[in-house]
Structure 1
């Protein structure tokens, strides 16, 4: 009996975390309070957001509900070594998705139950967009592969009206022939360029 092929998102998730982690490792002490394209978040706030997301993964993949996890990952989850704390959280999240059978479970999220691969797709798309945000906040090249950008664009397009959620700025218009990255950013209310 052959094993089921791995869902593409399970291969892309570590790549998205590594792209974000690459930029976390570039942060100098004076850059932590710097602004990002996320108007409410500094560089530290953005890293905190993605770190907290990764801390949820092992809990949710073990079957915990949002109510059971409670407020454990609310607020500032970063320690005095944010880069190391990010790395530990990212590694734990990756490991949780590598547990045999993890891809086939149902995850209990605040808006309902979803397959683990669907949850992983959401996390991957979020990491891709926030890698761009972090790179912009640092004045660095986001170094996002075409495959990650294409995946994130397809995933986010499937979410419907993003601005209506209150979590995203309104989508921006894009010119004909715009690159997938420009379309992804515009879909999430961001502009690629100065």
Structure 2
């Protein structure tokens, strides 16, 4: 397996290194006093709210690991459709917390989560299931990806709020690509038209390639494969794939049936 495949233990050190790099970028963006109440790409959120969201999310991970290690029954997941409203409520509840206190807490939480992930055995990295608050049982490695989503995408959000031109780290985007395909499977709208059809995806980066995607009554299935016979192929570089999945913009190049490609892209709610 590749060192860039975070779903395997061979990719463990790579993703933990990149998470740390993204976290340091995030904290550097959030630390200036003048940044605290600056706008971000997240509607209604200032930088302080993004930091609060990471505190809330990471501390939720601690609780999830505690329950899993105790062999206890986890609460039912909220589901991704409920995620937006709940994380907003949780984030704004921290607005009376000072910048120093919240950043110190966020840094402490980050280091604790890094230790939890670093200490996982090779078997636990892929085989230890922990109930995610929104997605249900997932392998432990998914929590490293969750940290990378939080620090990588939310750093992008803070930079976007400055109005300056910027771009996303290729290392972060490459590692996240496989997880974006999984997120699409989890974020199909309840009222989506799942009359069967197929499209192709051509994704750049270390974890990219050509993927055949089949939509049907059971949802979305995908696999690497030849896409030359499909009526529509959507091309993404790694970062545009990540940012599209998270609803930060409408990116990608369509080859073939534009209407079919747009139908595919509108199957999903964005988180």
User: TM-score, normalised to structure 1's length?
Assistant: 0.71
CA distance in 2, matches of 1:178, 1:114: 26
* Correspondence for 1:83: 103
Q: Measured at CA, do residues 117 and 52 of structure 1 come closer, stay the same or move farther in structure 2, by a change above 3 Å?
A: same
CA distance in 2, matches of 1:121, 1:132: 16
Equivalent residue for 2:28, pick from 22, 25, 29: 25
* Correspondence for 1:131: 155
Stretches of structure 1 lacking an aligned partner (at least 5 in a row): 68-73, 166-175
Report the structure number with the largest CA radius of gyration: 2
Q: Measured at CA, do residues 137 and 85 of structure 1 come closer, stay the same or move farther in structure 2, by a change above 3 Å?
A: farther
TM-superposed deviation, 1:14: 4.5
CA distance in 2, matches of 1:32, 1:66: 35
Structure 1 residues 87-137: Cα deviation after superposition (integer angstroms, max 9, x where no partner): 111101101112243524221223422211123323323332212112222
Equivalent residue for 2:57, pick from 53, 57, 74: 53
TM-superposed deviation, 1:39: 0.6
SS of 2:161's equivalent? helix
CA distance in 2, matches of 1:98, 1:55: 17
State the aligned residue count: 174
User: TM-score, normalised to structure 2's length?
Assistant: 0.53
Summarize the alignment of residues 149-168 of structure 1 with structure 2, pairs less than 5 Å apart: 149-160=173-184, 162=187, 164=189
Q: Check whether the contact 1:20–1:130 (CA below 8 A) recurs between aligned residues.
A: no
* Correspondence for 1:113: 137
Q: Check whether the contact 2:26–2:151 (CA below 8 A) recurs between aligned residues.
A: no
Structure 1 residues 140-179: Cα deviation after superposition (integer angstroms, max 9, x where no partner): 67674322102223211221264738xxxxxxxxxx7553
* Correspondence for 1:70: none
RMSD: 3.2
